[in-house]
Structure 1
Amino acid sequence: MRRVLAIVAATVLVATGCSSVDNDAATGSDLVVDTTTGTLQGVAVGETHQFLGVRYAQPPTGDRRWTRPEPVPDTDDVLDATRAGSPCPQTGETAQAVSSTDEDCLFLNVTVPARASETARPVMVWWHGGGFTSGAGSQYDAQRLADQGDVVVVTANYRLGMLGYLGLPGLDGSGNFGLADQLAALRWANDNAEVFGGDPDSITVFGESAGGTSVCAALTSPAAVGLVDRAIFSSGSCSLAWPAGTLFPGLPASSSLISLSDSEAQGSVAAAALGCTDPDPLGCLRARPVDALLGQAVLFGNPIAYGTELLPQQPSTAVQQGNWLKVPVLSGGNRDEHRSFIGGLLLTDPTAVTAENYESLIRSSFPADVGAVSATYPLDDYESAPVAWATVVTDVAWACTTSRGARDLAAAGTPVYSYEFADRSAHDVSGVGSSGVPQGAAHATDLPYLFDLGSEGLLTEPGQRELGDDMVVAWAAFAHTGNPGGADDAEWPVTTGIETPVMQFDNPVTGSGVHLVDHRAEHHCGLWDAITPE
């Protein structure tokens, strides 16, 4: 393998990309490194050295809009790598978004422990979340993870929304431009690991939500062969699927992975909405301003296309058939995953989930199993109907599909470790607690335990910093060895094709600490495996 990177999602930080500086800036220190795309002048931040706004691919602008990422040529210039590059275009309307219309956005950031090391460090490459429509690598400050974990961390931008996932008949790379960017950043990390003190033969790619699903999908891509040694996906996998009405009431069943034909049909709808039809919809779309394209983002929230050169098979099928990279995997999610989605929904429509319509929601999504679902999740057992419905959807769409997917990965004998984040005192990173739905360990609330979001430390309540330290230790141990270790002298058993032992990461002060749990019973996966079989 060859070289270094990392990325995820939550709040702020914009700036310009690498620009030339006087060659006098080269001091010979390890803040100046010679990469395959130029010599970088970095900056000392705390106990780390950072190299920010590093261009890993040519700007996808003009005629390069909706083309595969192109390599950046080497240069003799010394490039300023002290400021983050622009995020990829997004509206800035969600907690994970930062408003931007700048298509020149294919940048990454590298964080390295400042202290010397006698051995090469593992490299962790981060792909951020944000529903494939928002987020930026620069939002994830990796100082704590790099320093405490003794790893090199790379976070990267990738094209989002319509710019990242447009499919059209005859368009080369349809539905996969964002994934192609992620793989290009991963390749850059492999190629340049050694100059940052990293080990090109110890590359862990990790991501959350959209980034986690991208990681799992990448493990089935021929283009990822030789680039990945270990993988971590959080709150996103090849198996995530939402039955009808569960992602949001009234929506059909959905997945983050769609067929190429569906991608092309979806893209054609978006093109028509922008007045771009035959004979040259692509040329027409390339002439449209970015703002117009951002208006179509709602169509591209679950957009990765398979049946393509990058993803020949549906990733979940590829895993089940053994057609994946078979590297060690750490996979998991959050105990109250769907509460953030329900909170956001209620801020838009306070009547969407109520005690009066709770049974009708169950009937609409599970018409053949209303009695079993209602008996398993009686409204009286929960503080409110929104919490009850969020629990139903967390279990069926997130928790049980994730553990099922982990068993599929483990069936070939590959080391797979399963976990759950469970701190119900976690910070409301999505900003939807005002809906009245307590967020608990909702989607994305685990991010501050690994990263400082927007350079802001959010672990301020009792026990949170200790839990963050535990998670950094486990994630870094996995990057170093392929084994996340145990907790309190408890062994962390591997997942198998039939069993899913889950290590739960809970607050040691307000919760139950780090320990093994009966995840299958906690999330009623026996019921859901029967109702929604593979």
Structure 2
Amino acid sequence: MRIPVPRSLGRSVLALVTGAVLVTGAVVTAGPAAAVPGNGNGGGAGNAAPTLVQTDEGKLRGTRLDGYRTFEGIRYAEAPVGERRFRPPVPVQPFRGVADATTPHEPCAQLANGTTNAFQTFNEDCLFLNVTTPAGLDAARSDLPVMVWIHGGSWVYGNGANYDASTLAVEGDAVVVTINYRLGPLGFMAQRDLSAGNGAVGSGSAGLLDQQEALRWVQRNIDAFGGDPDNVTVLGESAGASSVCAQLASPTAAGLFDKAIAQSYSCTATYDTLAAEEATGQTVATTVGCATAADVAACLRAAPAEALLRAWPGGSFVVGGSSLPEQPGTAIAAGRWNRVPVVHGNLQDENTLFTPLSLTETQRQALLSADPAVYTATLQQRFPGRAEAVAQRYPLAEYGSTLRVLAAVASDVGSALSTCTHVAAHDLLRGQQPSGVFAYSFRDQDAPALLDFPYDPARYDEGAQHAGELPYLFPGLFGGPLTAEQQALSTTMVRYWTNFAATGDPNGRGVPAWNAYRTPADVQGLDVASQGGVGPVDVAADANCAFWATR
């Protein structure tokens, strides 16, 4: 179901839910819940694939459902606790016997938030992944494309197990892996004493390196599940898309994947430097009582996880260590990146989610007015010297309220989620990869909304809000059932995504042609048939990018 937003919600929530797609702490499973009987070694009807799989580290027993297999809660690295806290991950060690892989593991440590109902846990033993495959595989087969999903959640929330990968696996004939990685300060906090102990890698890169360790596990083991280790696509949404961009620029990720899909986070976005983030980490150390300790690093490793999470002001990737030595945009522009085919895109109305959350309820109510005087005064304040020109581009009558106009502007320009920022990334990638970049714009105005604001739709229509495309790839993630038209769009998107994973090109039978990116007019619009359907759109014109580029 949609998540209602309390009218009292204030500014502080913006930082907490940016990119968040963790809707509940429970695993969302849209497929049948009943396992199909089998003997665990290829039993069951026909050539059903085995639920007992031998990996490099040991044997795993999974579950066979209606049309697919799942192997959940697979450890890919040793527990990052004690002396391992804040350090690079340690590869999982071999084990004896058969490990149970029939239930997912608890997410990485994160705080609860009432708005998104995020699952609160202080568990740090969380470096686990989940594998979903079609059920009817020959046991000797190992040629399916592999898709490794990195969840979003502002780098502070999320759980790989929340994403039901059965549709991608079955309809796309693919092996899908969803992963957990360290979040918040445990995954992204830099601090000078921690950096000194980590050598060239510095600190603040644990989450990035966790993702790489999961990809190394895939390289070693995915053939046992039917997947091809030489045909791996890394993909993610929001904070997960930023992870994809960071992995494209990371020298230590070279050779770990063959294609990339980044959904709703521009690869031109910039992150803080190691020096800046070490200063933030020092503030955290002070807050938890470690700044004056004889051994600050040891004190931080012993501090309660909850205390660290509550002291953390937020942050993301850190630029400066050996795993991310320069900004992703800089690395791509200079040709110092992991050159692979890329799908990159965003949603038409990304910031209808975040614009209200950046304001108090009193401010929101005032801006929900259709009063031209409020509109004019707001534009004069927000866009001094350009208010009249902005008003011509974003007429109040067309949008219904000043608040919706502000959301439209923010969706077009000004953030890592905005359309014009994505166009910049498309152009940058295309300059390095002339025939291997495919851009999209998700545009279904009635897509399920992550957060349902209690406002009159005539005054605030959420449109194609941030994260709205996710239920089209992962059924049941949030929102109710898709309509027939939306289900048809879902089928097309799944085919595009899995065609790309298989071949590096989203085109194939039964889907409209998708042009490789050359100009913003080549962006593939993804919409229901009655509202424009699927085909090329000029997103730079729609988002007024030329207008915003002039000052």
State whether TM-score is above 0.5.
yes
1:11-66 CA-to-partner distances (Å, cap 9, x unmatched) read 23459xxxxxxxxx984231111112321100012211000000111111122111
AA at the equivalent of 1:341: F
Match of 1:321 in 2: 334
CA contact (8 A) 1:344 1:435 kept: no
Q: 1:36 to 1:365 in 2, by over 3 A?
A: farther
Q: Secondary structure at the match of 1:201?
A: strand
Match of 1:287 in 2: 302
Question: TM-score of the superposition, structure 2-length normalised?
Answer: 0.84
CA contact (8 A) 2:40 2:61 kept: no
AA at the equivalent of 1:467: L
* Higher mean displacement: 150-159 or 109-118: 109-118
Q: Secondary structure at the match of 1:33?
A: strand
1:397-437 CA-to-partner distances (Å, cap 9, x unmatched) read 31011111011011023410000111111112234456964
1:134-533 aligned within 5 A = 134-170=157-193, 171=195, 172=198, 173-240=202-269, 255=270, 257-278=271-292, 279-297=294-312, 299-300=313-314, 302-345=315-358, 349-352=361-364, 354=367, 362=379, 366-367=383-384, 369-396=386-413, 397=415, 398-414=418-434, 415-432=436-453, 437-453=460-476, 458-485=480-507, 490-496=512-518, 499=520, 501-509=522-530, 511-531=531-551
Q: 1:180 to 1:362 in 2, by over 3 A?
A: farther
2:75 paired with 1:62: no
TM-superposed deviation, 1:507? 1.6
1:371-391 CA-to-partner distances (Å, cap 9, x unmatched) read 543432243431111211011
1:491-520 CA-to-partner distances (Å, cap 9, x unmatched) read 322113x555111111224x2211111111
AA at the equivalent of 2:161: S
AA at the equivalent of 2:352: R
Q: How many residues align?
A: 494
Report percent identity of matched pairs: 39
* Higher mean displacement: 457-466 or 170-179: 457-466
Q: How well do the aligned residues superpose, as a CA RMSD in angstroms?
A: 2.4
Q: Secondary structure at the match of 1:295?
A: helix
Q: Secondary structure at the match of 1:109?
A: strand
Measure the CA separation in 2 of the matches of 1:192 and 1:358.
Answer: 58
Match of 1:244 in 2: none
1:199-258 CA-to-partner distances (Å, cap 9, x unmatched) read 111100000000001101110111111111100000012224xxxxxxxxxxxxxx5x21
Q: 1:96 to 1:421 in 2, by over 3 A?
A: farther
Q: 1:361 to 1:191 in 2, by over 3 A?
A: farther
Q: 1:273 to 1:369 in 2, by over 3 A?
A: farther
Q: Which residue among 124, 130, 135 is the counterpart of 2:153? A: 130
Q: Secondary structure at the match of 1:52?
A: strand
Measure the CA separation in 2 of the matches of 1:121 and 1:433.
Answer: 45
CA contact (8 A) 1:9 1:137 kept: no
TM-superposed deviation, 1:345? 3.9
Match of 1:5 in 2: none
TM-superposed deviation, 1:109? 0.4
1:144-188 CA-to-partner distances (Å, cap 9, x unmatched) read 111001000000011111111101114224121111111111111
Q: Secondary structure at the match of 2:272?
A: strand
AA at the equivalent of 1:289: P
Measure the CA separation in 2 of the matches of 1:350 and 1:469.
Answer: 42
Q: 1:377 to 1:492 in 2, by over 3 A?
A: same
- Structure 1 unaligned regions, length at least 5: 1-7, 16-24, 241-254
AA at the equivalent of 1:224: A
AA at the equivalent of 1:47: G
- Structure 2 unaligned regions, length at least 5: 1-19, 28-37, 43-49
Q: Secondary structure at the match of 2:325?
A: coil
AA at the equivalent of 1:337: E
TM-superposed deviation, 1:96? 7.1
* Higher mean displacement: 500-509 or 311-320: 500-509
TM-superposed deviation, 1:277? 0.8
Match of 2:70 in 1: 50
Q: 1:530 to 1:74 in 2, by over 3 A?
A: farther
AA at the equivalent of 1:517: V
2:41 paired with 1:12: no
